[in-house]
Amino acid sequence: MATDSGTSTAAVGDVAATLDPADWDSFAVLAHRMVDDMLGHLRTVRDRPAWQPMPAGIRASFSGPVPWEGEGAERAYEDFVRTVLPYPNGNLHPRFWGWVHGGGTPLGMMADMLASGLNAHLAGFNQAPALVEHEVIRWLAELMGMPAGASGILVTGATMANVLALAVARFAKARDAGFDVREEGLQGRAGSRLMLYGSTETHAWANKAAELLGLGRASFRQIPVDDAYRIDVAALEAAVAADRAAGHLPFCVIGTAGTVNTGATGDLERLAAYCRAERLWFHVDGAFGALARLSPALTPIVAGIEHADSLSFDLHKWMYLPFDVACVLVRDPAVHHATFASSASYLAVVTRGVTAGGFPFAERGMDLTRSFKALKVWMSMKAHGVHAYAALIEQNVADAAYLAALIGADPELELLAPVPLNVVCFRYAPADVAAERLDALNAEILVRVQEEGIAVPSGTRLRGRYAIRVANVNHRSRREDFRMLAEAVKRIGRENAASGCPEPGALSPGTPRTRPDRA
Ligand SMILES: *Cc1c(COP(=O)(O)O)cnc(C)c1O
C-alpha cells in the first residue's frame, strides 16, 4: 500500500478520506496569510525591478521528483513564495509594456478566488452563476453596439474567441453554399477552397485557426496594408474577385481593431459595407482595440465594429482583469448555436430541476466543463463602473501619445510607426550611428532595459527595421515611467554605441527570430 496512497487523508476505518483541511482554523490562518502576502506584493510592486532573471538554484528546484508524500499546505505555500512569486515575467509592474499583457487587479484576483471556492460548472445549469455569465454577455454586447439578443461566450483568450468565431463563419457560409461542414467537413472539396482574408498585420492566431479548422494556411489571404498599417481595401476586393473567378468560395474577412504591432485599426465601416454587399462574413478581431469603444472620445477610431457578424476581444488586456478571460460575440444567436449544438441536447429539454435551461454555454464553443470566469467580470464592472474603464483606456492612449511626443522631440530617438492608439514603436537612432548597426543595437538595448529591471517593452520588426515596442494596457503606469524608459534607452544606447559593439549581425540572444511580438 506504500505506493498509491502516500497521503495523510487515506481512509481509516469509518473516517472517510477528504482533501478538506483536518484543522479548518489553522488552514484559515494560512489562507489569510496568503491573501495578506499577495495584497502586500501588489501594493509594493513599484518598488521591485520590472523583471529579474532567475538564479540557477531556483531554476533547478523545478526538476523535482513526483511528490508521492505530501509536504503539507504550509510548505507548499512556502515553496511558492520562495521559487515562484519573485520570478514572473513582470506584467504586474507599472513599467511592463511588453506584448499586450494586462496587469490584473486586486478585485479581479479576489473574484477569481471566490469563483474557485464556489467551483461552479459553467456548461449552463439552472444556477445563479449561469445568469451572471448571461448578464455579462448582454452588457458587453450592448457596450459593443451589438443588437440585443446577440449571442456570446467567455473563453480563455482572444485566440480562442477568434477560432470560435471563425468556426461559426465557416459553418454559416458553407451552409449558404449548400453544404454542411459539420457533417461533411472540408474533405472532398478539392479545387474549391473556402477562402479567408485579413491584412498582413493580422495576429498569428489566424494561421493557427486556418490550420485547425481544416482550411489550411493557403486559404488565408494576407492583404497588404497602407502606410498606417491598415488593410488595403481595394487590394482585398481584387483578391476576393480573383478567387471567385478561380472557382474558390470566399467566406470571411477579418478586420482588426488595434493591431498588435502598431495599434492600427482598419476602416471597419467600409469593410462592413463591403462584406454585406458581397455576402461575406465580417469578423472583427478587437483583442484590445474593441475596448476603445467604452470611451466616447475613442469610439470613432473603431467605428463600424458594431456591424461585425462576430467580434472577439480580451478582458484580460484592456479591461485589466486577471488571466484568462475573453469574449466572443455573434450577431445571429441561431447560427452560433447551430455551429456547436449537439443533437442530443434537443432530445431532452428539461424545464425543472438543476438542468432546466440546458447547457447553453457548452453549445456556444468547444468546452463542456468551464470555469466561472464571468464572476470577475461581473464584480469588476459593478464595482468600478464602465466610466472608470473608459477613463483608464483614455489615460493609456494619452500616455502613449505623450511617449510618442517625447520620442518625436528627441534627436536621439526615432518613432517608427504612427501611434493611433496605445502602441508606440521606436528606436535609438542618433545621426552618428550607422544605419546598418541600428537593428543589433536596439535589440541589445531592449534586452538590457529588461535585464536591468527598468522596464519590459518588447521588440518587433516594422518594414524590416527593428523596433522597441511599448503596448500600453497598464493601469499602474505614470508619466514618470515613460520618461524613465526614454532616458534608459538613450543611456544604454550611448554606452553600447560608444563601445562599438555589437557588430551588425551579432544579434543578442534576446533578438526575436520570427514574429516574437504576436502575443
Ligand atoms: C493578444 C491578441 C490576440 C490573442 O489574444 P490572446 O488573449 O493572447 O489569445 C489576438 N489578436 C490581437 C490583435 C491581440 O492583440
**259 Cα nearest atom in ligand 1:** 13
Asked if the model's pLDDT at residue 336 lies above 50, the reply is yes
Question: pTM score, two decimals?
Answer: 0.93
Residue nearest atom 2 of ligand 1, based on CA coordinates: 287
Ligand 1 centroid vs 109 CA: distance in angstroms?
Answer: 21
**223 class by beta-carbon count within 10 Å (0-12 exposed, 13-18 middle, 19+ buried):** buried
Q: Distance, CA 355 to ligand 1 centroid (Å)?
A: 34
- pLDDT for 31 beyond 70: yes
Percent of the chain with pLDDT over 70: 92
Residue-wise pLDDT tens digits, 178-222? 999 999 999 878 789 999 999 999 999 999 999 999 999 999 999
Mean pLDDT for the stretch of residues 259-275: 98
Of 243, 242, 241, 240, give the one whose Cα is nearest residue 254. Answer: 240
- Among protein residues, the one whose CA lies closest to atom 15 of ligand 1: 260
Minimum mean pLDDT range among 12-26, 109-123, 494-508: 494-508
Distance CA 8, CA 116 (A): 24
Pull the grid cell for residue 356. Answer: 432546466
Span from the CA of 157 to the centroid of ligand 1 (angstroms): 7
Ligand 1 center–CA 247 separation, angstroms = 32
* pLDDT value of position 187: 85
Other CB atoms within a 10 A radius of the CB of residue 372 amount to 24
pLDDT at 367 over 70: yes
Name the residue among 141, 25, 47, 144 with its Cα closest to residue 94: 47
Confidence (pLDDT) at 16? 86
Task: Output the 3-class SS for 132-198.
Answer: HHHHHHHHHHHHCCCCCCCEEEEECCHHHHHHHHHHHHHHHHHHHCCCCHHHHCCCCCCCCCEEEEE
Contacting residues for 284 by C-beta, under 8 A, at least 6 apart? 254, 255, 256, 257, 268, 290, 305, 308, 310, 311, 312
SS3 298: coil
Q: What is the DSSP string of 355-378?
A: TTT--TTTTSSS-SS---THHHHH
CB 148 within 8 A of CB 138: yes
CA distances from 242 to 196, 238, 248, 249, 250 (A): 13, 6, 9, 11, 10
Instruction: Compute the distance between CA of residue 497 and CA of residue 491 in angstroms, rounded to an integer.
Output: 10
Distance 205 CA to ligand 1 centre (A): 8
Nearest to 272 by CA among 302, 242, 292, 314: 302
Ligand 1 center to residue 57 CA distance, Å? Answer: 34
- Grid cell for residue 338: 447551430
- Pocket test of ligand 1: the residue of 268, 285, 291 to mutate, having most ligand atoms within 8 Å of its CB, is 285
203 CA → ligand 1 middle, Å: 7
> Hunting for cell 441561431 — which residue is that?
334
* Ligand 1 atom, smallest distance to 258 CA: 13
C-alpha 67 to ligand 1 mean position (Å) = 36
Closest CA to ligand 1's atom 14: 287
Round to whole Å and give the CA distance between 484 and 487. Answer: 5
- 143 pLDDT higher than 70: yes
Q: What is the pLDDT of residue 516?
A: 36
Residues 225-246: what's their mean pLDDT? 98
Report the nearest atom of ligand 1 relative to the CA of 324.
Answer: 7
What local confidence, expressed as pLDDT, does residue 12 receive?
A: 59
Nearest residue CA, atom 1 of ligand 1? Answer: 519
Cα of 163 to ligand 1 centre, how many Å? 11
CA of residue 90 to ligand 1 center, whole Å:
18
Residue of 91, 154, 159 with the most ligand 1 atoms within 8 Å of its CB, for mutation: 159
Mean pLDDT of 269-288: 98
Quick check: helix, strand or coil at residue 203? coil
Tell the residue nearest (CA) to atom 7 of ligand 1. Answer: 157
| Average pLDDT taken over every residue of the chain | 93
Structure confidence by residue, pLDDT tens digits, 98-137 = 999 999 999 999 999 999 999 999 999 999 999 999 999 9
**Each residue's pLDDT tens digit, 32-51:** 999 999 999 999 999 999 99
In terms of Cα–Cα distance, which of 411, 484, 409 is closest to 453? 484
Q: Mutate which of 91, 256, 313, 314 to test ligand 1's pocket (most atoms within 8 Å of Cβ)?
A: 314
Dist. CA 519 → ligand 1 center (Å): 6
Contact 312, 162 (CB under 8 A): yes
Q: Tell me, what's the pLDDT at 154? A: 98
Closest atom of ligand 1 relative to the 326 alpha carbon? 7
Distance CA 110, CA 216 (A): 42
**Nearest in space to 423 (alpha carbons), one of 406, 403, 442:** 403
Instruction: List C-alpha distances in Å: 380 to 49, 296, 315, 316.
Output: 28, 20, 11, 12
Cis-peptide, bond into residue 324, ω within 30° of zero:
yes
**How far is 293 from 305, CA to CA, in rounded Å?**
9
User: Can you list the positions of beta strands (E) in 224-351?
Assistant: 249-256, 281-285, 310-314, 326-330
Cα of 266 to ligand 1 centre, how many Å?
A: 16
Cell 473608459, residue? 390
Q: Is residue 288 helix, strand or coil?
A: coil
Helix (H) or strand (E) holding 338, with range, is helix 333-340
Distance of CA 333 to the CA centre of its chain: 24
* Alpha carbon separation from 37 to 26, 58, 108, 271 (Å, rounded): 17, 20, 16, 49
Helix (H) or strand (E) holding 413: strand 413-415
Atom of ligand 1 nearest to the CA of 205: 10
Ligand 1 site residues, Cβ closer than 6 angstroms: 100, 157-159, 203, 205, 256, 258-260, 285, 287-288, 314, 326, 519
